[in-house]
Amino acid sequence: MKHVSTSFAIGILALFLSSQVLASDAGHTSEAMEHAGQALAHGEDGHADALVKHAEESLNHAKAAEKAHAEAHKHMTEAIKHIEESIKHGKMGHAEEGAKHMKEAIKHIRSSGH
């Protein structure tokens, strides 16, 4: 059930962020956020493999956003560190720890302002 509510919340957030895509090139940021939310939901549900899949997608988009948004570099760099930790823990089967790192990554992605 956590997965459904978290996915719904991330969907609403992605919809909210989509308005920024029109105003600026925030596509990678919203994609990073969407996949981070899905990784978090899967981690909370104990699905380590799905956490890794979505965390890797989030990482790719976060790295692209980091390059595109130099002013948000600091927060995206921190987000990337937490996403990488989430992937590492997910691959070890530690879904809860992976989820904790995704929460931190989401905070930094939001703080990036994009």
pLDDT for the residue 23: 40
pLDDT for the residue 68: 72
Domain range for 62:
2-111
CATH code of residue 28:
1.20.120.660
pTM strictly above 0.75: no
CA distances in angstroms from 29 to 10, 22, 45, 81, listed in the order given: 13, 13, 24, 15
User: Looking at the 3D structure of the chain, how many domains does it have?
Assistant: 1
pLDDT for the residue 101: 95
Residue pLDDT, tens place only, 34-93: 999 999 999 999 999 999 999 999 999 988 887 776 666 788 889 999 999 999 999 999
Output the CA torsion 81→103→52→113 (10° steps).
-60
pLDDT for the residue 24: 44
